[in-house]
Amino acid sequence: MASRGSGKWALVEHRHHSRASRVYRFQILLPNGTSTGLTLKDPGEEMPLHDFLNHIRTELENVPMDGGERRGIDWSGDVYLEDLLDRKIDKKVQFSDFATKNTNILRLQDGEGFVRTFENMWDLTPPTELLQELPAEYSTESALADLVDNSLQALWSNDKKDRKLIRITIDQEKIVIFDTGRGMDGSDENSISKWGTIGSSNHRVFRAKGIGGEAPYLVPFFGMFGYGGTIASMHLGRRAIVSSKTKESRKVFTLHLSREALLEKSSSKLSWKTAGGIRDPSKEELTLSPHQSFTQVEIQGLNRYLGAAKLQRFLKDIYFPYIQYDEDNGSMNTRRLVQFEVNGVDLAEILENEVTITNLHSCAGPDFILDVTFSCTSTTSANSQAHARVKCVYFPIVKGKESIDSILEMLRENASGVKENFDKFSRVSIRRLGRLLPDARWGPLPFMEPKQSKGKKAELLKRCCKRVKCFVGQALIILFYFKSDRTDLAQHDLFTKALRCLDGSSRSDSSVEDVNVDVHRVGRSLSCTQLEKQYHNWINNMHVKYDVEIDGGDNDHTVIINPSNKERLGISEDVEVIRVYTSVSRKGKTWKRGDHLKIQPGVVARMKSNFHSLKSIFYATLEYVVGEGLAGDICGEARLICRSIECSDNQGCLLEEGPDSMRLNIQESVSFPISMIDNDKGLPIEQVIMAGYKNPHEFIAVILPQPATTCSTSLLDKRYILKDDEIEMEMEINHLPGSKDHLRANRIYRKLKKPSSRDSINGLYIFQLSEVSSIFTKSGVYQFIFSVRCKDSSIIKHETEITVRPNSNTRCWQLSSVADCSADNAVVDIRLGIPVRCLAARSHDLYGNGIPFLDVHKAVITILDGDDFLAQVEDIEVELSSDSLTLNIRDFLFKTSKLDIIRPKYEAMLKISLSDNEFSHPCPCKVMPGFPSTINMDMSLAWEKNLTPGEVIDDALLEVFDHCGNHVEEGTELIVRIIGLSFVDKHGPVRKVNSEGFVDLRGLLRVINGFGSQACLKIFRHKKEIFARTFQIAIRNLKAVKVPQSCQAGTLLENIIFEVSDSDGLIDESIHGPLHTLSIRSNELKLVEGAQYAFERGRCIVSHVPVPREPGRVTFVAYHTHFSDLETTIQIPVYTLDLVPVKGENESEPICSYPTSSGSSQNTIPPSQLVLSQSNSLAANIMGKFSDEIREIDAEICSQEVLIKAFDSRKRALENDIVDLQDEISHTAGSASGAKELTRHKIEENVGTAAAVLCSRQWFRDDVVGIVALLGTVADRKMSMMLSVYLGEDNMLAVVCKTLAAANYFEKYDADGSVDVHFGIHQEAANLGVPIRKRFPIICLDAIRPYTGGLHLHTKQKPLALPFPHSKGFKGFAVNMINLSPESLKISTKNGYGLRETLFYRLFGELQVYETRDDMWQAIPHLKNGAVSLDGGIIKGDGLLILGYSDPEVTFPVVPRAALDVEEDDSEYVCTRIKTMHAQMDVVKTLENRIKAAEEQRQKLVMERNEKKRKFDEISEVLSQPSGSGDHQLYQ
DSSP bridge pairs for 1061 = 1037, 1067
Q: Which helix (H) or strand (E) holds 1056?
A: strand 1052-1061
Tell me if 763 sits within 8 A of 703, measured CB to CB.
yes
Q: What percent of the chain has pLDDT over 70?
A: 79
Of residues 715 and 89, more confidently modeled: 89
For 1107-1112, the CB contacts below 8 A with 24+ separation are 1107/1047, 1107/1048, 1107/1049, 1107/1050, 1107/1051, 1107/1052, 1107/1053, 1107/1132, 1107/1134, 1108/1049, 1108/1050, 1108/1084, 1108/1134, 1109/1049, 1109/1050, 1110/1049, 1110/1134, 1111/1049, 1111/1135, 1111/1136, 1111/1161, 1111/1162, 1111/1164, 1112/1161
Per-residue model confidence (pLDDT) at position 549 = 67
* Residue type present at position 1387: I
Q: How confident is the model at residue 715 (pLDDT cuts 50, 70, 90)?
A: very low
Per-residue model confidence (pLDDT) at position 1143 = 41
Per-residue model confidence (pLDDT) at position 680 = 59
**Is the pLDDT assigned to residue 1093 strictly greater than 90?**
no
The pLDDT tens digits for 498-536 are 888 876 554 556 667 778 888 889 889 888 888 888 998
3-state DSSP percent of the chain in helix, strand and coil, to 5: 25, 30, 45
Best mean pLDDT range from 431-435, 634-638, 1358-1362, 1468-1472 = 1358-1362
Say which residues have a Cβ less than 8 Å from residue 702's Cβ, sequence separation at least 6: 713, 716, 721, 722, 763, 764, 765
Q: What are phi and psi of 575, to 5 degrees?
A: -75, 130
CA distance 1207 to 1204: 5
Q: What are phi and psi of 1347, to 5 degrees?
A: -75, 130
DSSP string computed for 851-914: PPP----EEEEEEEETTEEEEEEEEEEEEE-TTS-EEEEEEE----S-GGGGTTTTEEEEEEEE
Of residues 536 and 1524, more confidently modeled: 536
Lowest mean pLDDT, pick from 168-182, 314-328, 331-345, 1222-1236: 1222-1236
Other beta carbons within 10 angstroms of residue 1448's beta carbon come to 19
DSSP string computed for 284-305: HHHHH-TTS-EEEEEEEEESSP
CA distance 152 to 277: 25
Task: Report the candidate in 228, 243, 235 with the shortest Cα–Cα distance to residue 298.
Answer: 243
Of residues 38 and 1330, more confidently modeled: 38
For 612-616, the CB contacts below 8 A with 24+ separation are 612/854, 612/855, 612/916, 613/855, 614/854, 614/855, 615/852, 615/853, 615/854, 615/855, 615/856, 615/880, 615/884, 616/852, 616/853, 616/854, 616/880, 616/883, 616/884, 616/885
Q: What are phi and psi of 309, to 5 degrees?
A: -65, -45
Q: Provide Rg for the chain, Cα atoms.
A: 57
Task: Report the candidate in 192, 211, 204 with the shortest Cα–Cα distance to residue 153.
Answer: 204
**Is the pLDDT assigned to residue 218 strictly greater than 70?**
no
Its pTM surpasses 0.95 = no
CA distance 1136 to 1047: 9
Per-residue model confidence (pLDDT) at position 1466 = 53
Tell me if 1067 sits within 8 A of 1060, measured CB to CB.
yes
Average pLDDT over residues 782-797: 86
Per-residue model confidence (pLDDT) at position 1157 = 35
Average pLDDT over residues 90-110: 86
* Residue type present at position 1452: F
The pLDDT tens digits for 966-976 are 999 999 999 99
Q: How confident is the model at residue 1215 (pLDDT cuts 50, 70, 90)?
A: confident
Per-residue model confidence (pLDDT) at position 1436 = 87
Residues 1419, 1422, 1428, 1430, CA torsion sign = negative
Per-residue model confidence (pLDDT) at position 1147 = 40
Q: How confident is the model at residue 694 (pLDDT cuts 50, 70, 90)?
A: confident
Task: Report the candidate in 1506, 1494, 1498 with the shortest Cα–Cα distance to residue 1189.
Answer: 1506
Bond into 281 cis (ω within 30)? no
CA distance 1004 to 1007: 10
Q: What is the mean pLDDT of the chain?
A: 78
Q: How confident is the model at residue 1532 (pLDDT cuts 50, 70, 90)?
A: very low
Say which residues have a Cβ less than 8 Å from residue 81's Cβ, sequence separation at least 6: 49, 52, 88, 89, 90, 93, 106, 107, 108, 109
Lowest mean pLDDT, pick from 441-445, 549-553, 636-640, 846-850: 549-553
CA distance 1038 to 1076: 12
Task: Name the pairing type of β-strands 1037-1041 and 1338-1340.
Answer: unpaired
Average pLDDT over residues 960-971: 92
Tell me if 1013 sits within 8 A of 980, measured CB to CB.
yes
Going from the C-alpha of 1165 to that of each of 1183, 1195, 1196, the distances in angstroms are 18, 6, 10
Residues 807, 813, 819, 825, CA torsion sign = negative
Task: Name the pairing type of β-strands 981-983 and 1024-1032.
Answer: unpaired
Average pLDDT over residues 483-492: 55
Average pLDDT over residues 460-482: 70
Q: What are phi and psi of 1032, to 5 degrees?
A: -90, 120
Tell me if 423 sits within 8 A of 444, measured CB to CB.
no
> In this structure, what DSSP letter does residue 315 have?
H
The stretches of 466-515 forming alpha helices (DSSP H) are: 494-500
Lowest mean pLDDT, pick from 154-168, 191-205, 1075-1089: 191-205
Task: Report the candidate in 295, 247, 316, 318 with the shortest Cα–Cα distance to residue 151.
Answer: 295
CA distance 1072 to 1074: 7
Residues 942, 943, 944, 947, CA torsion sign = negative
Per-residue model confidence (pLDDT) at position 75 = 85
Bond into 1106 cis (ω within 30)? no
The pLDDT tens digits for 339-377 are 999 998 988 888 877 888 888 878 878 889 998 888 876
Q: Which helix (H) or strand (E) holds 925?
A: strand 923-928
Say which residues have a Cβ less than 8 Å from residue 711's Cβ, sequence separation at least 6: 717
Of residues 1401 and 600, more confidently modeled: 1401
State the virtual CA torsion across 68, 71, 72, 77 in degrees, nearest 10. Answer: -160
CA distance 637 to 575: 12
The pLDDT tens digits for 898-947 are 999 998 889 999 888 875 555 667 888 899 999 999 998 865 544 445 68
Task: Report the candidate in 511, 508, 530, 507 with the shortest Cα–Cα distance to residue 519.
Answer: 530
